[in-house]
Amino acid sequence: MADHKIKLDPGAAALLDALHGAGYAAYAVGGCVRDSLLGLTPHDWDLCTSALPQQVLDRFGKEQCIPTGLQHGTVTVKYGGKLYETTTFRTEGSYSDGRHPDSVAFVPDVKEDLARRDFTINAMAYSAEEGLIDPFGGQKDLARGLVRAVGVPHQRFTEDALRILRLYRFAARFGFEIDPATGQAARELCAHLDCVSIERITEELTRLLAAPKPGTWMEPAVFAVVLPELFTPENAPRFEAARAIIDTLPEGLPEVSARLAALLLPLGEQGTRKALKQLRCSNALIEEVTTLVREAGLVPEEKTAARAIQARRLLGRLEPDPLRRLLALCAAHRPEQAAAFAALQTAAGRLQAENACCRVGQLAVNGRDLMALGAKPGPGLRGQLEALLEAVITGQLPNERKALLAAVKIELDP
């Protein structure tokens, strides 16, 4: 990595040029530099500069800028349809609460700004003119696959305990090792996580769980602080099993519900809901995870015909993606039945491709059709539709208007 030329995103390059042209120092910084050096495509480009927030606003004009956090030095600059967080070089004063600096001070030197950042791999800056600015050996740590705190780990985690979760999140994301001194400080100080806002914890926790194989980095001491209910004497042994199971489930944020369900399964449906509410997860996530926990005991049918009916009932209750996650979760928990769950998934896929009728709304008749035949509106009507659905699902009736209406007429007539 001797010649570490980074290919700047065109917008970042243009903004850096503009700041340089106005006489300021300016660099791409943090995650985008790290990801570029790893050969990954950064998802956003953060910039840092010696220009004060007001000077950034003056240089790019009000229309181009969003004053994201002026006191902290951050202006978001719009360029070419993208957003660039542009933050003035700063140091942070003391942390008396374990989460926010008591003050921030703007400084002229990028190295001072890099010193306040959490890990060496996140504490590098880059500009085309000066190349890589790497005062803490971030490049070497990237090459070794190591996450290491900038400065004295104990002090850095005491300042901001959220960094403890970030440590495991970055290690898991890249499959890196944790520097021993940094890991020791993290385990020693994880009780301090209780002073971090729950939203920030949940954000880091979900990102940790979304990593490729997070099991190794799911430090029990950390989870015992964040989700103590998982560590009652009866639940604690299941945490180890959950770590292994989670690694076999698909990665990525959209898939994280299955991994959360695997983790929270010992709590049952009510306990899961309560834990996720305490973590202030979105309602959509809470609903999906509790559904997965509720359904996780699913017993797969072995015979083809029964399996097709089971798949149809499942598609009636669950959307295709959550159903796929449920079947993956069941297979991970009961590998001896993995083939049966895979067959169930195949059956569900086929039904979906055929647009087979699995819900009342997919019947070839609706409530209005039944009322035209003399059915009374109300719960009875719904019951009749459900009876028709049941007959279609079990193959007693085809999902055809004529056949369904005839069957209803017989019921209404006598």
Shortest distance (Å) from residue 211 CB to ligand ATP: 11
- Segment contacting Mg ion by CB under 5 A, of 23-31, 55-63, 69-77, 203-211: 23-31
H/E element, 383 = helix 379-393
Contacts 24+ apart (CB under 8 A), 70-79: 71/104, 72/104, 73/104, 73/106, 77/15, 77/47, 79/11, 79/14, 79/15
Shortest distance (Å) from residue 77 CB to Mg ion: 16
Site for Mg ion in 31-90 (CB under 5 A): 31
Q: Which is nearer to ligand ATP, 190 or 404 (CB)?
A: 190
Shortest distance (Å) from residue 65 CB to ligand ATP: 19
Q: Which is nearer to ligand ATP, 160 or 219 (CB)?
A: 160
Query: Residue 162 binds which entry of Mg ion, ligand ATP, none, with Cβ cut-offs from 5 to 8 Å by kind?
Result: ligand ATP
Residue 90: count of CB within 10 angstroms of its CB: 18
Query: Residue 303 binds which entry of ligand ATP, Mg ion, none, with Cβ cut-offs from 5 to 8 Å by kind?
Result: none
Shortest distance (Å) from residue 17 CB to ligand ATP: 22
Shortest distance (Å) from residue 370 CB to ligand ATP: 54
Query: Residue 325 binds which entry of Mg ion, ligand ATP, none, with Cβ cut-offs from 5 to 8 Å by kind?
Result: none
d(CA 147, CA 118): 10
| Nearest CA-CA partner of 21 in 127, 107, 108 | 127
Query: Residue 163 binds which entry of ligand ATP, Mg ion, none, with Cβ cut-offs from 5 to 8 Å by kind?
Result: ligand ATP
Residue 251 region, left (φ>0) first, then alpha (ψ -120 to 50), else beta? Answer: beta
Tokens standing for residue 379 = 């719960």
Q: Which is nearer to Mg ion, 30 or 300 (CB)?
A: 30
Query: Residue 117 binds which entry of ligand ATP, Mg ion, none, with Cβ cut-offs from 5 to 8 Å by kind?
Result: ligand ATP
177 in helix, strand or coil? strand
Q: Which is nearer to Mg ion, 28 or 249 (CB)?
A: 28
d(CA 248, CA 204): 21
Q: Which is nearer to ligand ATP, 139 or 272 (CB)?
A: 139
CA dihedral 330, 336, 339, 342 (to 10 degrees): 10
d(CA 116, CA 87): 13
Query: Residue 62 binds which entry of Mg ion, ligand ATP, none, with Cβ cut-offs from 5 to 8 Å by kind?
Result: none
Query: Residue 73 binds which entry of ligand ATP, Mg ion, none, with Cβ cut-offs from 5 to 8 Å by kind?
Result: none
Q: Catalogue the E-assigned strands of 89-247.
A: 90-92, 104-106, 125-127, 131-133, 146-147, 177-178
Shortest distance (Å) from residue 160 CB to ligand ATP: 5
- Segment contacting Mg ion by CB under 5 A, of 24-32, 88-96, 205-213, 271-279: 24-32
Shortest distance (Å) from residue 163 CB to ligand ATP: 5
- Segment contacting Mg ion by CB under 5 A, of 25-33, 59-67, 260-268, 292-300: 25-33
State the sign of the Cα–Cα–Cα–Cα dihedral 168, 173, 175, 177: negative
Which residue is associated with the tokens 């998802």? 43
Shortest distance (Å) from residue 122 CB to ligand ATP: 3
d(CA 414, CA 334): 50
Shortest distance (Å) from residue 84 CB to Mg ion: 12
- Residue 342's identity, in one-letter code, is A
* 44 secondary structure, DSSP code: -
Q: Which is nearer to ligand ATP, 101 or 183 (CB)?
A: 101
Tokens standing for residue 214 = 């997070």
Shortest distance (Å) from residue 44 CB to Mg ion: 6
The angle that helices 283-295 and 256-264 make with each other, rounded to 10 degrees, is 60
With a CB cutoff of 8 Å and minimum separation 6, the contacts of 71 are 104
- Segment contacting Mg ion by CB under 5 A, of 29-37, 141-149, 355-363, 404-412: 29-37
Q: Which is nearer to ligand ATP, 162 or 286 (CB)?
A: 162
H/E element, 286 = helix 283-295
Residue number with the shortest CB distance to ligand ATP? Answer: 31
Q: Which is nearer to Mg ion, 60 or 84 (CB)?
A: 84
What's the burial of 49, exposed, middle or buried (CB within 10 Å: 0-12/13-18/19+)? buried
- Residue 377's identity, in one-letter code, is P
Q: Which is nearer to ligand ATP, 162 or 263 (CB)?
A: 162
Residues lying near ligand ATP in the complex (CB under 6 A)? 30-31, 43, 46, 117-118, 122-123, 160, 162-163
Residues of this chain that interact with Mg ion (CB under 5 A) are: 31
